[in-house]
Amino acid sequence: MSLTAETTDYIVVGSGCTGAIAAQTLVEAGAKVLMLDVGKQDNKYKPLIPDKDFLTIRETDQQQYRYLLGENFEAIPWGNIKTGTHLTPPRQFMLDLVDRYLQVDSENFSPLESLAYGGLGNGWGVGCYVFSKPELEKIGLDKIKMMSAYKTVSARIGISGAKDDASPYTIGELDNYQAEFEIDANAKSIYKRYLKKKQTLNKKDFFLGKPALAILTKDLGERKKIAYNDMEFYSDRDQSAYRPWITVEELKKHPNFTYISDSLVTEFTENSDRVRVKAINTNTNEKVSYTSKKLLLASGVLGTARIVLRSFQSEDKQLPLLCNPYGYIPCLQPTMLGREIERHKMGFAQLSLFHDPNQQNFDIAMASIYSYRSLMLFRLIKESPLNFVDGRIFMKYFLSGIVVMGIHHPETSSNGKYLHLNRSETAITGDKLKINYQLSDLEKQTITQKENDYIWAMQTLGCYALKRVNPGYGSSIHYAGTLPFNEQNTAYTLAPTGRLNGTHSVYVADGSGFKYLPAKGLTFSLMANAHLVAESALTE
């Protein structure tokens, strides 16, 4: 059965970081906005999690196994480490319905996509980075407009940052950020050693400091400042970490805004003054359509590629794909072994270590340094060669000295990285995204060399690498570049305003236009760009 429903000024597809920010800009300008989303939510674990810190929960809550280990042992990854194995049980709803509606066929690329209310932003590590001028130029973005957009987004979501050796790479010229957050004992010890060894490290182009994070150190509206209870990857109770659903909940109070969940947008068609959006109701499988003056796609880079390729009926059309190569290296800081586990700490990245060989804030590598506890505990015990009881005792002693370094590398487009849409009889949508991702030998060598450099830097900081873990291509969860910005009116590209070339009313607010991916996390820049795209859609 096919239904024709709502008509509105603007349709925004997706409630993730980009959809939420774009919709907010439209609504604040007085536009009538309809957000279409699949919008899965967690109703299972959320009510079970007490408002207590991780250690108190471990000591007192009889129900803890249900959300820490998961009722189906979701916290213990079986088989190889792959993209998304670090999602906690209360975040696994982010993956609901993905196998059903977002089918991928690939031998060498394993993406993480989400059909959740708030998208991947339910699980993001909240790392925010202002891109430098040369980085923005290579991406295809305007530096002056982006600086102003970064400030707008920072005021909306709340970012805490610090002035230190890393700030040119983190907050850059941003001036409206909150006071820095507290780091834990592991990170303090590393930072102290950095100050002693600074000259040696700087001479080799390494710079260490605190990351800028979308967490509050001061209350913002109804959101509370961080409580350092180390439960940030399990619960959003105090809303101290920014999640896009927080923005959408605010928008729902506005008469100009309508949110419709359970709607999987499949394609659009345009006529002279309207765009028609077709969707499937994911509960009933009914086909529904909506019309609006303008459409903003914010369905995640891979999701948007599907919608655009279907709408242009372009099977076999290859689109380029960018994804930061990523790997991590667990390290041991021997001076911290056997220390008492802290109660007052948080789970996000504690420090950022940048390697900038040209000293131009361009084509740098970035490592985030975590002292995982709540997130990794069960996995580490499982990986231990000892039996569970001995492993648990051993880990109690060992855990205080474990540091995990996640390294992101910059990413440029090349022939071996692309996707296209294949017909599929078995898929509900009738198609699968076929992805091929191969790095050149030179890219692989550069990554290995960079990891060696980082292992040296960590050793200088008193941390010794235990092993290298390669979670496979796609695991950075930073995707971009499928519809690259282009000032000519070329098909399958975006105008600098975010308008899809070849259309007059379809805009793309996610990272599809980015022609380059710096190693720094992209999401703050995605949100700033989404704000600018929404402004263009209002005025063009």
Ligand X SMILES: Cc1cc2nc3c(=O)[nH]c(=O)nc-3n(C[C@H](O)[C@H](O)[C@H](O)COP(=O)(O)OP(=O)(O)OC[C@H]3O[C@@H](n4cnc5c(N)ncnc54)[C@H](O)[C@@H]3O)c2cc1C
Taking CB under 6 A as the binding criterion, the range among 115-123, 315-323, 386-394, 493-501 that sits at the site for ligand X is 115-123
Q: Cβ(350)–Cβ(184) under 8 Å?
A: yes
126 lies in the site for ligand X, by CB under 6 A: yes
Taking CB under 6 A as the binding criterion, the range among 7-15, 216-224, 314-322, 352-360 that sits at the site for ligand X is 7-15
Helix (H), strand (E) at residue 517: strand 516-517
481 lies in the site for ligand X, by CB under 6 A: no
518 lies in the site for ligand X, by CB under 6 A: no
Taking CB under 6 A as the binding criterion, the range among 155-163, 297-305, 410-418, 420-428 that sits at the site for ligand X is 297-305
Binding pattern to ligand X, positions 68-107, x when CB under 6 A? ----------------------------------------
Q: How far apart are alpha carbons 119 and 113 in whole angstroms?
A: 8
Rule CB under 6 A: choose which of 11, 13, 159, 351 binds ligand X.
Answer: 13
Rule CB under 6 A: choose which of 70, 89, 111, 125 binds ligand X.
Answer: 125
CB nearer to ligand X: give 112 or 353: 112
Closest separation in Å from C-beta 478 to ligand X = 6
CB nearer to ligand X: give 462 or 498: 498
Taking CB under 6 A as the binding criterion, the range among 119-127, 200-208, 377-385, 450-458 that sits at the site for ligand X is 119-127
14 lies in the site for ligand X, by CB under 6 A: yes
Q: What are phi and psi of 218, to 5 degrees?
A: -140, 140
CB nearer to ligand X: give 45 or 124: 124
Torsion of CA 168, 171, 175, 180, to 10 degrees: -110
296 lies in the site for ligand X, by CB under 6 A: no
Closest CA to 150 of 133, 165, 166, 171: 171
CB nearer to ligand X: give 114 or 186: 114
Which residues face 223 on adjacent strands?
Answer: 220
Q: How far apart are alpha carbons 132 and 136 in whole angstroms?
A: 6
115 lies in the site for ligand X, by CB under 6 A: yes
Q: Which amino acid is at 14?
A: G
Rule CB under 6 A: choose which of 523, 528, 532, 533 binds ligand X.
Answer: 523
Q: C-alpha angle 180/186/190, rounded to 5°?
A: 80
Rule CB under 6 A: choose which of 121, 330, 474, 513 binds ligand X.
Answer: 121
Taking CB under 6 A as the binding criterion, the range among 166-174, 332-340, 434-442, 520-528 that sits at the site for ligand X is 520-528
CB nearer to ligand X: give 70 or 521: 521
CB nearer to ligand X: give 136 or 336: 136
Q: Cβ(461)–Cβ(190) under 8 Å?
A: yes
Site for ligand X in 35-54 (CB under 6 A): 36-39
CB nearer to ligand X: give 37 or 356: 37
CB nearer to ligand X: give 264 or 322: 264
CB nearer to ligand X: give 184 or 510: 510
Q: How far apart are alpha carbons 493 and 274 in whole angstroms?
A: 21
17 lies in the site for ligand X, by CB under 6 A: yes
Taking CB under 6 A as the binding criterion, the range among 120-128, 145-153, 190-198, 457-465 that sits at the site for ligand X is 120-128
Closest CA to 501 of 488, 512, 482, 519: 488
Closest CA to 355 of 461, 463, 208: 208
112 lies in the site for ligand X, by CB under 6 A: yes
303 lies in the site for ligand X, by CB under 6 A: yes
Closest separation in Å from C-beta 199 to ligand X = 30
DSSP string, 278-312: EEEETTT--EEEEEEEEEEE-S-HHHHHHHHHHHT
477 lies in the site for ligand X, by CB under 6 A: yes
Q: How far apart are alpha carbons 513 and 508 in whole angstroms?
A: 8
State both tokens at 296: 């903003």
Sign of the Cα pseudo-torsion (312, 315, 321, 326, in order): positive
Q: How far apart are alpha carbons 35 and 277 in whole angstroms?
A: 12
Alpha-carbon 400 to chain mean position: 27
123 lies in the site for ligand X, by CB under 6 A: yes
Q: How far apart are alpha carbons 399 and 57 in whole angstroms?
A: 18
Q: Which amino acid is at 66?
A: R
CB-based burial of residue 413 (10 Å sphere; 0-12 exposed, 13-18 middle, 19+ buried)?
A: middle
Q: How far apart are alpha carbons 325 and 348 in whole angstroms?
A: 20
127 lies in the site for ligand X, by CB under 6 A: yes
CB nearer to ligand X: give 36 or 457: 36
Q: What are phi and psi of 429, to 5 degrees?
A: -80, -10
Closest separation in Å from C-beta 39 to ligand X = 6
Rule CB under 6 A: choose which of 299, 333, 350, 482 binds ligand X.
Answer: 299
Helices marked H in 96-142 = 98-101, 133-139
Site for ligand X, rule CB under 6 A: 13-19, 36-39, 112, 114-116, 119-121, 123-127, 263-265, 298-300, 303, 307, 477-478, 510-511, 521-523, 526
